[in-house]
Structure 1
């Protein structure tokens, strides 16, 4: 009985290690500096409510914003426009992408 449990645990551990190795290959650290330009990700529902984006062709990311400061390890404060004053200006790094477009 205990041997079966040990075998199952070993197989689960092997599967977890394999999945972790796949994930670690794709994961990359994302960091921004003060003054960098980033694109802000909006979900489709929040895009309709907060950013007035609607329809099937609504963008996933909206215009570039300037990074004002880093807040903690994974959050950044952005310089938002006046029309977005009702939105908190601190976002998790997963909602940001580096802006690669020219000015």
Structure 2
């Protein structure tokens, strides 16, 4: 493998070293920012349902930074058995948006404790 890399470098000098950093993005989070831990980490194994897991869990607040690549996040109580420090590659930045907040509707119950179901259309 090393020989193949050397041959490629000798054939095309000057282009291989810049190519490695084209897709890399440095990620940094400040204390107090909100992030999404990806459920493929330990969080995904702690949640019982597998098929219906969401892509991200959170948002969760960054509590502390340990070095350049490790962050401690505030986990909710139902995930308190997990380690709360994540590698930067396991976190995604959360951008706040008012459309993300859902307002609960008041449900009117009948005397027999049933309620009327209304259909809702969700647009993409």
Normalising by the residue count of structure 2, what TM-score does the alignment of the two structures yield?
A: 0.63
* Higher relative contact order, chain-length normalized (CA < 8 Å, sep 6+): 1
The answer to whether residue 17 in structure 2 is matched with residue 27 in structure 1 is no
Q: 1:45 to 1:101 in 2, by over 3 A?
A: same
Give 1 or 2 for the bigger CA radius of gyration. Answer: 2
Number of aligned residue pairs: give it.
95
Map of 2:61 onto structure 1? 66
RMSD across aligned positions (CA)? 2.9
Q: Supply the distance in 1 between the matched residues of 2:86 and 2:27 (Cα, whole angstroms).
A: 13
Map of 1:79 onto structure 2? 74
3-state DSSP of counterpart to 2:63: strand
Structure (1/2) with the larger strand percentage:
1
**Which stretches in structure 1 are left out of the alignment for 5+ residues?**
1-7
The answer to whether residue 110 in structure 2 is matched with residue 97 in structure 1 is no
Instruction: After TM superposition, give the deviation of residue 40 of structure 1 in Å.
Output: 0.5
Match of 1:12 among 5, 8, 18: 8
**Which stretches in structure 2 are left out of the alignment for 5+ residues?**
99-124
